Amino acid sequence: MSTSAHSSTDVMGTAGTVTDRLVEANGRYAAGFTDPGMDARPVLNVAVVACMDARLDLHAALGLKLGDCHTIRNAGGVVTDDVIRSLTISQRALGTRSVVLIHHTGCGLESLTEEFRHELEMEVGQRPAWAVEAFRDVEQDVRQSMQRVRTSPFLLHTDDVRGFVFDVTTGLVREIDPT
């Protein structure tokens, strides 16, 4: 069973690296590209924070189009200081008012622990400054992320913050009660 939608031949092509393939694909894309005439303000005034997992096609899953939202992704979709930084800019400089948080089933952070940082320190001789933010309960982590957004002093709009778990086997999102 393959873990990718593409085979290694599809990704690599006949020669070169994956990055070479991506640059070639961009050339084809740019050849037919027309400036959509948008600015950086999302049409729907929403920011979506989600996991970086390659199985999540957020635009397709949520019916979004280019320009509809700001998308902020990281490992786990966890609300970290950098996510708060991005949300603050999104709200204060670019007009977003709503925040949607999306975690998912089968997340890789469920199998890690903070021991990962220690292992990195042993390997490279320097302890990472960041936390792994691993979790065991995806619903509880969504609640924690919602709470971090709602209590941030930097965010102007914290009344429309909703959290969901995306099921990677069905494609459905399930809303998580914040309490």
Check if the beta carbon of residue 50 is closer than 8 Å to that of residue 107: no
Q: Which tokens in the block code for residue 27?
A: 């050339």
Confidence of residue 14 (pLDDT cuts 50, 70, 90): low
Inform me whether the pLDDT recorded for 4 exceeds 60: no
Q: 63-116: per-residue pLDDT in tens?
A: 999 999 999 999 999 999 999 999 999 999 999 999 999 999 999 999 999 899
Q: 26-71: per-residue pLDDT in tens?
A: 999 999 999 989 999 999 999 999 999 999 999 999 999 999 999 9
Confidence of residue 7 (pLDDT cuts 50, 70, 90): low
d(CA 170, CA 120): 35
Mean pLDDT, rounded, of the chain: 93
Inform me whether the pLDDT recorded for 137 exceeds 60: yes
Inform me whether the pLDDT recorded for 12 exceeds 70: no
Confidence of residue 122 (pLDDT cuts 50, 70, 90): very high
Confidence of residue 2 (pLDDT cuts 50, 70, 90): very low
Query: Within the chain, what is the greatest distance between any pair of CA atoms?
Result: 53
Mean predicted confidence (pLDDT) in 156-171 = 98
**Where do we find the tokens 């930084």?**
85
CB count within 10 Å of CB 157 equals: 18
